[in-house]
Structure 1
């Protein structure tokens, strides 16, 4: 119980190379898309019956399935209500070279994102929009934190996630690979409706509070804004990212 609970701390996750997945949706996707990385599965008696759709395949795949009580599960997990199931999973981060070698058409680069919910929601939105990978700067929140993992709703196991990136070096690498760099910023002269989105490109997103740093905007090929037609001052980072990604998906799948 203590070893699982310890995964709520970044130092333990880094030392063990493991993360904690809480709740049926995230656990189901881990079992479906990364069964070889699932170390242990914890379920209550009720959850074992309710979620047999992934509990039984987990057993068949040789994953250790442990029966536990609600009280013990709550003590192990970071979430207040883990909904009867949790899993310990080995983390497998991707690398930029592998992503670029696959000739991606749609990427998102997150610079200095600090809110776990925002990061997880962007990963989920990128997955839904069919992005090829999510790139995360070294100054951003830890992707393996329980709050980020929960907010991805399982999308963490659907597409490559590259972490710990130096922003300047990453932008240079993307340019060398022929990927256009689009800085998403409210100060952009061009809107997403007037931007060419059919070719390979990356959306570069800034911090929730101050947006993109000037040197990052200057290093991009274009600065693009999401038009605001009402009185809202700005859009939430996750919302803006999803709008940009879906504009790209619409252009590329037209």
Structure 2
């Protein structure tokens, strides 16, 4: 049954607004995604929201009407509300007129089969949610198996990260692990951990062929990989630079690495 809520004092609206805070997201295991496009992408990945909020104007679009009807039939809590309340939830003036609340999906590293994909991404101490979201999107684009977070990383379910992922938050597996776990996991699958470092001599596009999975490990935006992480790598490489810039943005560098490795195999599985 579709409900209508127009008051900011409504308990449900208060609960959803509180998901802006990391502590509330951690306690509830929930997060917010904005926009009909992201909701449709989640549905395509067989992920349904717990709550769907939308404006009367949004329901004038046929795609949104059909979406609301499908979710209502399947038991999703569907709420018609105002643009003002959606703006309060998302903290944006020009907010999307469809917002959904989802349950977070995290996996243990042991639950992921390293041999199921040729490429994986591991991130050590990544702090910028925009970078993390963009890396999720890139990992999705190359068909990587998942993104593994090492150490104290930013929250992948923050508003900023979910926005930057453009829906890939629903398509890419997410795991958290210790560096030692990653090493054991990679070795058991006959894999290779590939890291980038300014101290490396070999180029990123001159790696030896590898039959097992490749885990691209990238470091913190400011400090790069820690000494421990570099020591855990099977290969350390550097991306050549020519101009005055001394480094690439983390998300850009990760994309360079992933596309280089995928391209070295002829882009298998690429869409025509």
Q: Same fold (TM over 0.5)?
A: yes
Structure 2 length normalisation: TM-score? 0.86
The match for 1:210 is 223
Unaligned runs of 5+ in 2: 1-12
Q: Secondary structure at the match of 2:258?
A: helix
Q: Which has the higher helix share?
A: 1
* Conservation of the 8 A alpha-carbon contact between 2:115 and 2:189: no
| Partner secondary structure for residue 140 of structure 2 | helix
Q: 1:162 aligns with which of 175, 178, 197?
A: 175
Tell me the equivalent position of 1:81: 94
Residue 41 of structure 1 pairs with residue 62 of structure 2? no
- Per the normalisation by structure 1, the TM-score is 0.92
For residues 152 and 117 of structure 2, the distance between their equivalents in structure 1, rounded to whole angstroms, comes to: 24
Rounded Cα–Cα distance in structure 1 between residues aligned with 2:39 and 2:93 = 16
User: Equivalences for 1:167-186 in 2 at 5 Å?
Assistant: 167-186=179-198
Q: Secondary structure at the match of 1:203?
A: strand
Q: Distance in 2 between matches of 1:118 and 1:132?
A: 18
Structure 1 101/193 Cα, relative in aligned 2: closer, same or farther at 3 Å?
closer
What is the distance in 1 between the residues matched to 2:241 and 2:67? 43
1:245 aligns to what? 258
| Aligned residue number for residue 232 of structure 2 | 219
Separation in 2, partners of 1:61, 1:131: 31
Q: How many residues align?
A: 252
Q: Output the CA distance in 2 between the equivalents of 1:248 and 1:78.
A: 39
Unmatched tracts of structure 1, length 5 or more: none
Alignment of 1:1-254 (within 5 A): 1-36=13-48, 38-50=49-61, 51-52=63-64, 54-100=67-113, 103-163=116-176, 165-196=177-208, 199=211, 200-252=213-265, 253=267
List 4+ stretches of structure 1 deviating above 6 A.
none
Report how far residue 102 of structure 1 moved: 5.1
Pick the structure with greater CA Rg.
Answer: 2
Distance 1:15 1:25 in 2: 27
